[in-house]
Amino acid sequence: MHPLQCVLRMQRCQRWRPLASVSWVLLRTCRAHSGLPSTACSSPERQQEAGVWKDFNSRLATGPTFQHFLRNASVPQEKPSSEVDDPPPYLTVDELSGRQRKVYLETYGCQMNVNDTEIAWSILQKSGYLRTSNLQEADVILLVTCSIREKAEQTIWNRLQQLKVLKSKRLRSRVPLRIGILGCMAERLKEEILSREKMVDVLAGPDAYRDLPRLLAVAESGQQAANVLLSLDETYADVMPVQTSPSATSAFVSIMRGCDNMCSYCIVPFTRGRERSRPVASILEEVRKLSEQGLKEVTLLGQNVNSFRDTSEVQFNNAVSTNLSRGFSSNYKTKQGGLRFAHLLDQVSRIDPEMRIRFTSPHPKDFPDEVLQLIHERDNICKQIHLPAQSGSSRVLEAMQRGYSREAYVELVHHIRESIPDVSLSSDFIAGFCGETEEDHFQTMSLLQEVQYNMGFLFAYSMRQKTRAYHRLKDDIPEEVKLRRLEELITVFREEATKANKTFVGCTQLVLVEGLSKRSATDLCGRNDGNLKVIFPDAEMEDVTNSGLRVRAQPGDYVLVKITSASSQTLKGHVLCRTTLKDSSTYY
Ligand code: 5AD
Ligand code: SF4
């Protein structure tokens, strides 16, 4: 059925059920758009409808004005947990609630998806769902998906085949199993998923998680339900994500969503929509709560964290103009005003001096001096910068629409190293982008050698529909060449990272303890300021904050570790003492 037909049906029925298989998002808005009721209605049903319409019009006339909304515009407040949203007219409050059905959530892809899973769960929990980690006992299975590369999507298609079997084997005595696709893949493929996999009941794009209770309620009636509407302002500012691991020492805090950069290879602007920032006040409130819960590390999250710009209050908008990193440009018209990333970082880092602050993923264009200065000065802001280069060839960077040349990027690296002498650097690279020659590839290898990153994330190019590269460029590098170049990049990266990490041998590092090492029950594992994994034997040590006391490290403790060996991915050493973040600088 065409979505418009859904709209029309909605106007005629108080307790409406979609006739055909898909309940699209238009259902939500159709009441506001109803322009149909006419005085020519003759049936009692129509007359009743006309009455409702008249009543609606008179309420509209006496209702709030545009000025009223402007006056009352402010940071959205969190609803008390007992408060249930009004159901749409075709659902009862009972149908809209989870009624203790068990949800199994599975996350794929980036950290944003991990955070989105917590947001989706927070919404469902308030709506009366329970969470299960046992697939067999789930009533609802939700996959939070990724579309960034073809392989990520293939993983989901394969997973759906397994879930199909689970669904078909479901005992008749139990409620039917419902399956939902959330996130980027739902946004990108929309109808294709519903028609290809008839067993998928719910689709919710990255901006539609608030609608999950309604979508699941519609699915309960045996219909497919979808909301893939992208928003210009949804930041889930008022939804406190539910941290899934209560013993965790760190948490992710989403500060902005979407991306306006339009790098020519990237699907993100199409799946996650336009860039928008969460109000500073709500971010600070969440970080304060996490600090009170005893968490020791917060990572500020966003597709472009350092492009942060809170414009939620009018008075923020006469603030200073935008400073880009030297030699960098943006693909969009320069934005003005708003509270910028340096302001947010400053405020967040003042909340708890014992809480480490990280951020990911930034774009190299948004590193003005005030951000670098702050990272240098503030003890609890980690001296670690992810600086995605994508390629070492200016020619390829131009085709990628990255807004910088190799020279500007290298100059930025030098400037960062001068401003923050002990900084750790990491990067993303793509091998085999459209038109990449062997010479371009060598340039990327030489950039890896020149910068000597501590960490790296390397990918083979995967063509994505809708992107500029898909429309304008040719995916002309054979798969085997892409993979060979990727292997070569990995080899060079490892050699260089090993060299960079070996400079830590003999030094003392402040490590935030996470818990037991996965490889050995007698070793502990944690991370240094640069986010490198550090492994050390679980031994008794002095607690310098509590003179003379002998203790063993616990998750969430800061300990000093003397580094004795290093590889491309980990440091190893022995523990010296327990300390605090503030005091640690005097010991090394
Ligand atoms: N193919 C391969 N890698 C990609 N990335 C983004 N889009 C693609 C693509 N189409 C990589 C970039 C980005 C990281 C998150 O994923 O390196 O920084
Ligand atoms: Fe994609 Fe570029 Fe935006 Fe990163 S900055 S999410 S690579 S478009």
pLDDT, tens digit, 9 for 90 and up, residues 299-334: 999 999 999 999 998 777 765 667 787 778 887 777
Average pLDDT over residues 412-426: 97
Alpha-carbon distance of 337 to 125, in angstroms, equals 37
Top pLDDT among 496 and 172 is at 496
Contact (CB, 8 A) for 456 and 407:
no
Which ligand 2 atom is the nearest neighbour of the CA of 363? Answer: 5
- pLDDT given for residue 72 in this prediction: 40
Output the six-digit token pair for 141.
């299975």
Q: Closest Cα to residue 262, out of 477, 110, 482, 466? A: 466
Classify residue 566 by burial, with Cβ atoms within 10 Å: 0-12, 13-18, 19+.
buried
Compute the residue count for the chain.
588
Q: Residue 508 forms beta bridges with which residues? A: 562
Q: What band does 352 get if pLDDT is binned at 50, 70 and 90? A: very high
Q: Which ligand does the CA of 150 lie closest to?
A: 1
- pLDDT given for residue 577 in this prediction: 95
Alpha-carbon distance of 452 to 193, in angstroms, equals 42
What is the radius of gyration, based on Cα positions, of the chain? 26
Q: What percent of the chain has pLDDT over 70?
A: 84
Output the six-digit token pair for 248.
């965790």
Give the SS3 label for residue 429: strand
- pLDDT given for residue 68 in this prediction: 45
| Model pTM score | 0.84
- In this structure, what DSSP letter does residue 169 have? T
**Average pLDDT, rounded, for the chain:** 86
Contact (CB, 8 A) for 242 and 290:
no
Which ligand 2 atom is the nearest neighbour of the CA of 260? Answer: 3
The yes-or-no verdict on residue 298 having pLDDT over 70 is yes
Q: What band does 485 get if pLDDT is binned at 50, 70 and 90? A: very high
Mean pLDDT lowest among 37-41, 88-92, 509-513: 37-41
Mean pLDDT lowest among 165-169, 311-315, 363-367, 443-447: 311-315
Give the SS3 label for residue 350: helix
The yes-or-no verdict on residue 393 having pLDDT over 80 is yes
Ligand 2 — pocket residues by CB below 6 A?
259, 261-263, 266, 268-269, 303-304, 363
Q: Which ligand does the CA of 272 lie closest to?
A: 2
Structure confidence by residue, pLDDT tens digits, 22-76: 544 433 333 333 333 232 333 444 445 445 455 555 554 545 444 444 334 444 4
Q: Name which residue sits closest to atom 14 of ligand 1, judged by CA.
A: 428
Structure confidence by residue, pLDDT tens digits, 267-291: 999 999 999 999 999 999 999 999 9
- pLDDT given for residue 586 in this prediction: 63
Ligand 1 — pocket residues by CB below 6 A?
148-149, 265-266, 388, 390, 428, 430, 459, 461-462, 464
CA distances 5 to 18, 121, 229, Å, are 10, 32, 18
Average pLDDT over residues 505-515: 97
Top pLDDT among 43 and 501 is at 501
Average pLDDT over residues 375-382: 97
In 238-306, which ranges are E strands?
A: 250-254, 256-257, 276-277, 297-301
Mutate to test the pocket of ligand 1, among 110, 459, 462 (most ligand atoms within 8 A of CB): 459
Q: Residue 107 forms beta bridges with which residues? A: 144
